[in-house]
Amino acid sequence: MATHASWSPGIAFMPAEFPGDMRPVNGVSWSDALGLRQSGGTTFQGAVGTSNWFHVPIATPVIIAGTRAKLVQVFVMFRCGSAASIAANDATIAGCNITEVDVWDGASQIHKFGPFLLFGEHRFRLGTSNTFKLPTPPSVVFGIELAVHVSFSQNEPITFASAGADFDV
């Protein structure tokens, strides 16, 4: 089998599932509803003490040469957490953490990663905090979507730079 990689840029992340819990980013009034979309990704700021879901579609090769693709692993490139928490490598003081990554194929949830407290600078390299390998690669039927759950315990934003997936085809 060959590997097929597919990526979505950070600006493809949809607005928060619960927009009433969001706050403006860097004083930009409309960014509470849509996120602040800039070259390099989208930044979201949640109200302190809330959590929210962020969704991103991944272009999906469902059938290649008559064979269904199998989803091997997914990726979320991000940055979140305070400078102090990153320097101290301490998730408990990050103020913003990814706590779960769910993988969907159409309307069916096919895997849940977490719970965890991910934070830090993970926009430029793949590693254990942004790479999620499925234990048994499932055949893809419709299309892949990632749902990323983020907890905002302090006034810290999250920036999504991109998201992707590897498929065996």
Task: Kindly list the domain boundaries of the chain, sorted by start residue.
Answer: 3-12+46-162
**Runs of H (alpha helix) within the chain:** 31-34, 83-88
Euclidean distance between CA atoms 115 and 112, whole angstroms: 9
For the chain, which ranges sit under pLDDT 70? none
Beta-carbon contacts of 83 under 8 Å, excluding residues fewer than 6 positions away, are none
* Exposure string over 86-115, b if 16+ CB within 10 A, otherwise e: beeeeeeebbbbbebbbbbbeeeebbebee
Q: How many residues does the chain have?
A: 169
The pTM of this model reads: 0.96
Residues 71-107 pLDDT 10s: 999 999 999 999 999 999 999 999 999 999 999 999 9
Let me know: does 106 contact 57? Beta carbons within 8 Å: no
Q: What are the C-alpha distances in Å from 56 to residues 103, 121, 158?
A: 10, 19, 14
At 2 the pLDDT is 83
* Nearest C-alpha neighbor of 151 from the set 100, 108, 107, 111: 100
Would you say the C-alpha torsion 3, 130, 101, 121 has a positive or negative sign? negative
